[in-house]
Amino acid sequence: MSPLVKTALRFLSGAAILIVGVLVMNGLIGMKESPKVSLPETIARPVLTQVVKNTDIIPKIPVEGRVEAWHRIDLFVEVNGVLELGGVEFREGTTYRKGDVILSLDDTESRANLKGARSKFVQLVTGMLASIKVDFPERSVVWDTYVASIDVAKTLPELPKSATDREGYFIVNRGVEASFHTIKASEDRASKFIIRAPFDGFVAKAMVRPGSLVRAGQPVGLFVGTGVYEIKTAVHERYLKSLKIGAEVVFEDENGLRVAEGKVDRVSGNVNPTTQSATVFCKVNELMDGEMRDGRYLSGFISASEIKNVVEIPLNLLDSEGEIFGVRSDKLQKINTNQEFLSIKTLIVSGIPDGTVILSEPVLGAYEGMEVSGTESGQ
């Protein structure tokens, strides 16, 4: 047998063996039973729910700001003098009631000059009494009484009102009226040696010390009132439409305790282009002594305009499309809402009928149609 024939026979034998193997394998595969497919059992996700009950809500606008005293004045003196020692001394932190003497300058020389001027005035008036008795006898008693009422150690009493133009011209020509007004101006200047508290408060800054020389026009300190304060805060533009002058405002300390309450006094007419917020000024009164201090930061809320027929929900229940999940027939269902007021942690919405069951807390991986087992919050 030739080598070519042997090679052909070997090839044909291998091919036959391969074909027989394939046929046998297919036959064995056909005899094997198909595996049974079983679908996983659906388990309802337990969730917390709440039943919607629409009400009228007064939203709260969150605010924070720095406390500033409503009354505060820079103190200046208008005369020269030495700041007196003794008594309640003018020092930083000293408190005064309305009308108390804050500081007093030595006015010894001024008082002496005034006494001398009043004495000359008495001399001038008494010198014309004889002429008055002759020219205006009916007015003699009036002027005698006036002279008797003058005390050179006290302020001059007002001049008697002239009964006729002739009497008035007589008084003017004698120089009485000019002398009287000159003395009154000196008395007014002498009163500036003492500065009294225009309201209850304390010395926030003292720039002079008792015993030092103070010159006219020199600033001497800062006086800050107590009891009534102003808090300047920034409110975002989205809240401005629901904010009104006179709206109630409450401020709390870091422990949540109310320390001040009042009303919105003014609202800035412009919006900061960077922060998109407007400045709001709140006038407040302290509720507890010592809690309100000039410069302290407080947080609180402003009561906005009332919104009717709405419900307040946690902000994290809202999805990216502005919808929330409700529960119907034990399945999640998306509900469209109308956003009325957005706060830091909550959202006030309308358009949800009373009795609608909604989630009260977010569910991870929630989707419409998910089977759930709801339990009402608080139960």
- Enter the pTM of the model: 0.63
How much is the pLDDT for 39? 47
pLDDT of residue 280: 93
Distance CA 240, CA 153 (A): 61
CATH topology of domain 60-68+227-303: Elongation Factor Tu (Ef-tu); domain 3 (2.40.30)
DSSP string, 306-368: -EEEEEEEEGGG--TTSEEEEEETTEEEEEE-EEEEE-SSEEEEE-PPTT-EEESS--TT--T
Closest CA to 332 of 319, 313, 351, 342: 319
Residue 374 near residue 357, CB atoms below 8 Å = yes
Extended strands (E) in 245-322: 248-252, 258-267, 277-286, 297-303, 307-314
**Which phi and psi (to 5°) does residue 191 adopt?**
-70, -20
Print pLDDT tens along the chain (379 aa): 566 666 766 666 766 777 766 676 766 666 655 555 554 556 788 888 889 999 999 988 889 999 999 999 999 988 888 888 777 788 888 999 999 998 888 888 888 999 999 999 999 999 999 898 888 889 899 999 999 999 998 899 999 998 899 988 999 998 999 999 999 999 998 888 889 999 999 999 999 888 888 898 899 999 998 888 999 999 988 888 888 899 999 998 888 888 889 999 999 889 989 989 999 999 998 887 777 888 888 899 999 888 899 998 888 888 877 788 888 888 888 888 888 888 878 888 988 899 889 988 888 888 888 888 878 875 4
CATH number of 71-100+197-225: 2.40.50.100
DSSP code for 369? T
Q: Could you tell me the residue ranges of all domains in the chain?
A: 47-57+307-376, 60-68+227-303, 71-100+197-225, 108-191
CATH number of 47-57+307-376: 2.40.420.20
Distance of alpha carbon 183 from alpha carbon 90, whole angstroms: 30
Q: In what order do the strands lie in the sheet with 338-342?
A: 55-57, 307-314, 346-350, 338-342
